[in-house]
Amino acid sequence: MNSDTRFDPSTADARWQNAWDQAQTFRADSNSAKPKSYVLEMFPYPSGRIHIGHVRNYTMGDVLARYKKATGHEVLHPMGWDAFGMPAENAAMEKGVHPGGWTRANIAHMKAQLKRLGFALDWSRELATCEPDYYGHEQALFIDLYEAGLVYRKESEVNWDPVDMTVLANEQVIDGKGWRSGAEVEKRKLNQWFLKITDFAEELLEGLGNLENWPDKVRLMQENWIGKSKGLEFSFDLSNGATLPVYTTRPDTIFGASFVAVAADHPVAQAIDNDAARAFIAECKKGGTTAAELETAEKLGFDTGITAKHPFTGADLPVFIANFVLMDYGTGAVMAVPGHDQRDFEFATKYGLPIPRVVAPSVDDAEKPFDGEAEAGEGVIVNSDFLDGMEVEDAKREIIRRIEDQGRGTGKTVWRLRDWGVSRQRYWGTPIPFIHCEACGVVPAPKDSLPITLPEDVDFQTPGNPLLRHPSWKHVDCPHCGGKAERETDTLDTFVDSSWYFLRFASQPADKPFDAAEVAKWLPVEQYIGGIEHAILHLLYARFWTRALAKMGQIEVKEPFASLFTQGMVTHETYSRKEGGKTVYYAPDEISREAERALLTADGGEVEIGRVIKMSKSKKNVVDPDTIIDTYGADAVRWFMLSDSPPERDLPWSEAGIEGCSRFVHRLWRLFGQYDAGATGEDKPLDRKTHQTTAAIAEDVEALGFNKAVARIYELTGAVEKAAPSASRSAAIRTLVQLVAPMMPHLAEEAWAAIGGEGMVADAAWPAVDSALLVEDEVTIAVQHKGKLRDTLTAPKGASKEDLEAMALASAKVQRSIDGADIRKIIVVPDRLVNIVT
């Protein structure tokens, strides 16, 4: 092999990509007898170009997929496109293009970008959710769910832009105003489609317990999101003769209730017949619908003049309409205990309501004043008649028992989880397959009429839903009575599309969503990789959808993702300077970066180097994968994605870093060039290092600890470079080619061919490890005196405690430190350290 030849990614990359394509190296065979391994990364939204974050995500999955293949698995590693969504409609409005054309062009471009990175993907299973051969099956599944009683319609609030006369996504509401019109956003009720995810709350919660290969943080987030709470629902008698049911998770604090609050759309509030109340309720309609907005808004209330009789004290509590009470949770009314709930505390402070203490650290603290905030923690009950002195949990049980005895209410489990609203008043989504008939009501479209496809001739120049405006699309005959009827014009939330795509990858029959036998072969996904931002919604919806299909008997598997990994973002420093009073940002390719400063290439002026933050278009701190692949080749880019930062943490992109990676690619190539098939002689320490590294990298890759695997490859590379020629060295080089193959596949194929490896390295088995070579026979022992390191010594592995103690005491450095003091104790940790305590 000629070591003078430089490795040239600009020709080698494409050559091997074609070779893999030709040989169909990464095509998954479901009839294979090998153990199956389904490796999946969250599929991308085709926004236009591949983002560097995608590159990181897919590189991680790719290393695992290639490693799994090398270790004898039949690997399914597919790719597709989460292709419905708002950006396509925005492009249609801004550029006058069709969402479909825009999306498909993006897919073509992004697919070419992914190909350039050499990912080991089975492209024969590619799918796009915006194509009728995908969403038609989704419509069928939606009808199945309807027939299983898991779909219903109800009124629900949306963000309404009163100028554009259109529904806004939360993202389109900026500081309470519509992003285009700038008009104050209002809450408006619409009749919408819902999926009964709450029917599965209990099993979605319990199922988390079996997902031991999911990050604890994600399981915890889902648990809190589902939010099971045990509490009490009971009714107050109101001064107007009505009864008002409330729900509380803290019945133990009932003696601390100083007022009652209802949501603005609660029937009690709606029934109040005066202008001031109507004005206040209208005021509550202002603003958006997000939890963050509702909970950070100033607490506002309206005293209805109605009072509620306390079930134990008989006191008359004022009833307020309050903007922080949600109609969707519990009964839409709460007993407010300001001493022990922060929102109630703020409200009571503002409106001058009493703040009694009913929980205290001890019975002696019954009169302790509050320190400017509510105390929500544990303690004993005080100022509460028959509850005084009880622990919180005992008091909860006692109150529930007494309320139940009075026939006034009942202990109840309530979930924070709400049903999933899937209606969107938009064009670019899956049409909801239902028909509205005046005579027959809402009826599902006949299955043989599927797919119900989107009309192509649509207008985006007027705001609102193009399906609703379309002259003919919605007009159909009722499948029941044959009379005139109208199609549903709402489309499905794009989260529905991503709730079952992993099933469609396993098989793609034309006549049904999936083949149950193929699903059984491949599912669950062995390793799912994606961003932490999907920790709750996408992952919960996908779990729900899978369980719903299992309940309907369509599949066996209940949990779609056996292991989950959430990777960090790719970040970059920003470059900006003040120009005419405002901050202008510059892109990295407009900058020449020196050690301490950054200059704008155009005019040589210095710009400020800002914090390392998530890449975003507005800060211009983005890098384009195509450009860096052109410059450094796919392997250097892949190597960068795996180096340094632990994969779950953010990865700061830097020009210096990618250059270092590129240098390492060429350094490896030079080393591979030194392979000598005829070399003789044994180099035992190098053999040891090679086998230890092989074993450690296998462990690292299986645990997705790519940064550690990378560090070990650097170490082994250094060791091989320093070693004198020998058969061991040649074996180490050959092994090194295989160890880097999952990470730098193009370089590895080129080297594998050059050293005479059989076939392609992508098809080669992972190098065998001789376990006899994994153990060292000497160890370094740290000697501490009073917990501080004084000396290190070399001892045979497994040396006795007595020997280690004697060796430690024999050290001059140790004796100097002890300086004649009495030795009280010596702690010996075998093969590790000796600690002498004086």
Partner RNA sequence: GCGGGUGUGGCGGAAUGGUAGACGCCGGGGACUUAAAAUCCCCUGAGCUUUGCUCGUGUGGGUUCGAGUCCCACCACCCGCACCA
304 binds RNA per the rule CB under 7 A: no
225 binds RNA per the rule CB under 7 A: yes
**CA dist., res. 373 & res. 383, Å (int):** 19
Question: Looking at 241, 602, 788, 820, which residue binds RNA (CB under 7 A)?
Answer: 788
**CA dist., res. 601 & res. 88, Å (int):** 34
> For RNA, which is the closer residue by CB, 480 or 813?
813
Binding residues among 23-42 for RNA as defined by CB under 7 A:
none
**CA dist., res. 144 & res. 513, Å (int):** 11
Binding residues among 100-139 for RNA as defined by CB under 7 A:
none
Question: Looking at 79, 710, 741, 760, which residue binds RNA (CB under 7 A)?
Answer: 710
Helices and strands of the chain, counted as H and E runs: 26, 37
Binding residues among 61-100 for RNA as defined by CB under 7 A:
82, 84-87
Chain center to CA of 731:
42
48 binds RNA per the rule CB under 7 A: no
> For RNA, which is the closer residue by CB, 95 or 786?
786
Q: Return the amino acid letter for 338.
A: P
On whether the CB atoms of residues 563 and 60 are closer than 8 A, the answer is no
Binding residues among 567-596 for RNA as defined by CB under 7 A:
595
- 528 DSSP β-pair partners: 40, 564
On whether the CB atoms of residues 209 and 189 are closer than 8 A, the answer is no
Site string for RNA, 136-165 (x = CB under 7 A): ----------------------xx------
Binding residues among 194-223 for RNA as defined by CB under 7 A:
216-217, 220-221
Contacts of residue 553, defined as CB under 8 A and 6 or more positions apart, other chains included, come to none
Number of residues lying near RNA (CB under 7 A): 99
* The one segment of 238-246, 261-269, 290-298, 446-454 that binds RNA by CB under 7 A: 290-298
- Could you tell me which of 790, 837, 782 has the C-alpha nearest to residue 813? 790
Question: Looking at 109, 111, 187, 343, which residue binds RNA (CB under 7 A)?
Answer: 343
Question: Looking at 41, 395, 790, 807, which residue binds RNA (CB under 7 A)?
Answer: 790
> For RNA, which is the closer residue by CB, 45 or 259?
45
**CA dist., res. 205 & res. 268, Å (int):** 34
| Shortest Å, Cβ 725 to RNA | 16
Question: Looking at 3, 11, 32, 792, which residue binds RNA (CB under 7 A)?
Answer: 792
| Shortest Å, Cβ 242 to RNA | 28
Binding residues among 353-392 for RNA as defined by CB under 7 A:
none
- Could you tell me which of 515, 509, 443 has the C-alpha nearest to residue 480? 443
Question: Looking at 237, 515, 650, 763, which residue binds RNA (CB under 7 A)?
Answer: 650
664 binds RNA per the rule CB under 7 A: yes
DSSP state string for 93-148: HHH---HHHHHHHHHHHHHHHHHHTT----GGG-EETTSHHHHHHHHHHHHHHHHT
- 607 DSSP β-pair partners: 598
| Shortest Å, Cβ 45 to RNA | 3
682 binds RNA per the rule CB under 7 A: no
> For RNA, which is the closer residue by CB, 409 or 466?
466
- Could you tell me which of 216, 224, 210, 227 has the C-alpha nearest to residue 561? 210
Gyration radius (Cα) of the chain, Å = 33
291 binds RNA per the rule CB under 7 A: yes
Binding residues among 760-779 for RNA as defined by CB under 7 A:
none
| Shortest Å, Cβ 312 to RNA | 28
| Shortest Å, Cβ 438 to RNA | 24
- 431 DSSP β-pair partners: 491
654 binds RNA per the rule CB under 7 A: yes
Binding residues among 457-516 for RNA as defined by CB under 7 A:
493-495
Binding residues among 714-743 for RNA as defined by CB under 7 A:
714-715, 718, 721-722
Contacts of residue 51, defined as CB under 8 A and 6 or more positions apart, other chains included, come to 44, 615, 622, 625
> For RNA, which is the closer residue by CB, 37 or 106?
106
49 binds RNA per the rule CB under 7 A: no
**CA dist., res. 360 & res. 247, Å (int):** 23
| Shortest Å, Cβ 537 to RNA | 5
**CA dist., res. 480 & res. 782, Å (int):** 84
535 binds RNA per the rule CB under 7 A: yes
**CA dist., res. 698 & res. 70, Å (int):** 11
Site string for RNA, 167-186 (x = CB under 7 A): xxxxxx--------------
Question: Looking at 331, 491, 643, 694, which residue binds RNA (CB under 7 A)?
Answer: 643
Helix (H) or strand (E) holding 320: strand 316-322
Binding residues among 432-451 for RNA as defined by CB under 7 A:
none
| Shortest Å, Cβ 6 to RNA | 9
**CA dist., res. 344 & res. 355, Å (int):** 9
Chain center to CA of 79:
18
Binding residues among 386-425 for RNA as defined by CB under 7 A:
416-418, 420-421, 423-425
Contacts of residue 6, defined as CB under 8 A and 6 or more positions apart, other chains included, come to 666, 669
- Pairing between strand 409-415 and 177-178? unpaired
> For RNA, which is the closer residue by CB, 435 or 716?
716
Binding residues among 690-709 for RNA as defined by CB under 7 A:
707-708
CB atoms within 10 A of CB 49: 14
